[in-house]
């Protein structure tokens, strides 16, 4: 059982997808299930998790509709306004959608690096566990100092760290990254996605060794039972195609046990997102 735990779909709109800048022209187009399905099949993946890329409930419904139409989309990570006074009502509503597994907010887009610690935002996060929703943590280095205090507010909440917390693979110093990962991984309710690697490296000039130190750090701290593979397709196309992303991760984990590899490639995602496969 192989599950791609992190990918995106969109109908490209230059206003809605304003984050896709001119140097990212390769992804300035539609990416839909019919584009991903053959890639999954070619690489022996049974399914995927579709993750929000736009901060609106319309995005959540868009992904849920795609999941309804395509069985290989096993789950959706959507968006909801956690600061809203009626957040519990919205979570109650979304709990009626079987394939909606959890939510995400794009912390790195917030001007305030401490946004995740806001009382109104945390009020919403505190209601997720009641409905068995997961939460994907998307951060960059500017949010590293605040993520452990955020996580520790919610010991019963199931979290997963997207993209290894986005270390800069263009640099060789991973000291602060290691401290951050050590701190996060001490919380047993947090998993980590081995995803988004190539987009944080030199897009057209990376090599596998660029990622070894960071991968060593996350595997040593999270252990094989809390890691899951994600392609970050189509964003990965800025730097590598789908098969190249898979090969990069395969090569690193080739010496791990069969059980550890099965956990990484699918079993952990099935368990974390409570997938029906």
pLDDT, one tens digit per residue, over 41-75 is 999 999 999 999 999 999 999 999 999 999 999 99
Euclidean distance between the first and final Cα of the chain, in Å? Answer: 8
- For 85-136, the pLDDT digits (tens) are 999 999 999 999 999 999 999 999 999 999 999 999 999 999 999 999 999 9
For residue 233, what are the β-bridge partners? 7
Region 220-236 average pLDDT: 98
Give the strand pairing for 159-161 and 134-138. Answer: parallel
SS3 content of the chain, % helix, strand, coil (to 5): 50, 15, 35
Say what the pTM is.
0.97
Q: What was the pLDDT predicted at 172?
A: 87
Closest CA to 116 of 43, 75, 165: 165
Rounded Cα–Cα distance for residues 21 and 203 (Å):
14
φ and ψ at 247, to 5 degrees? Answer: -60, -40
Rounded Cα–Cα distance for residues 147 and 159 (Å):
11
Q: What was the pLDDT predicted at 277?
A: 81
Q: Tell how many helices (H) and how many strands (E) occur in the chain.
A: 10, 8
**DSSP code, position 265:** I
Rounded Cα–Cα distance for residues 26 and 53 (Å):
17
How big is the chain by its Cα radius of gyration, in Å? 17
């Amino acid at each position: 059982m192989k599950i791609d735990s992190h990918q995106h779909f969109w109908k490209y709109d230059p206003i809605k997808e304003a984050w896709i800048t001119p140097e990212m022209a390769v992804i300035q187009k539609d990416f839909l299930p019919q584009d991903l399905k053959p890639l999954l099949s070619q690489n022996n993946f049974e399914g995927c998790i579709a993750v929000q890329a736009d901060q609106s409930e319309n995005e959540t419904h868009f992904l849920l509709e795609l999941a309804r139409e395509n069985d290989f989309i096993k789950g959706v990570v959507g968006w909801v306004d956690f600061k809203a006074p009626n957040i519990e009502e919205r979570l109650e509503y979304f709990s009626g959608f079987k394939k909606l597994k959890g939510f995400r907010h794009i912390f790195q887009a917030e001007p305030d690096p401490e946004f995740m610690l806001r009382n109104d935002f945390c009020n919403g996060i505190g209601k997720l566990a009641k409905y068995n929703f997961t939460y994907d943590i998307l951060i960059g280095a500017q949010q590293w100092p605040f993520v452990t205090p955020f996580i520790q507010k919610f010991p019963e909440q199931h979290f997963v760290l997207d993209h290894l917390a986005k270390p800069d693979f263009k640099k060789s110093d991973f000291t602060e990254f290691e401290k951050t990962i050590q701190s996060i991984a001490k919380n047993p309710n947090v998993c980590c996605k081995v995803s988004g690697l190539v987009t944080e490296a030199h897009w057209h000039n990376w090599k596998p060794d660029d990622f070894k130190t960071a991968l060593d750090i996350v595997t040593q701290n999270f252990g094989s039972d809390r890691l899951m593979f994600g392609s970050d397709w189509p964003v990965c196309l800025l730097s590598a195609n789908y098969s190249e992303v898979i090969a990069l991760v395969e090569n690193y984990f080739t010496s791990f046990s069969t059980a550890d590899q099965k956990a990484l490639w699918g079993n952990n995602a099935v368990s974390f997102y409570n997938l029906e496969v």
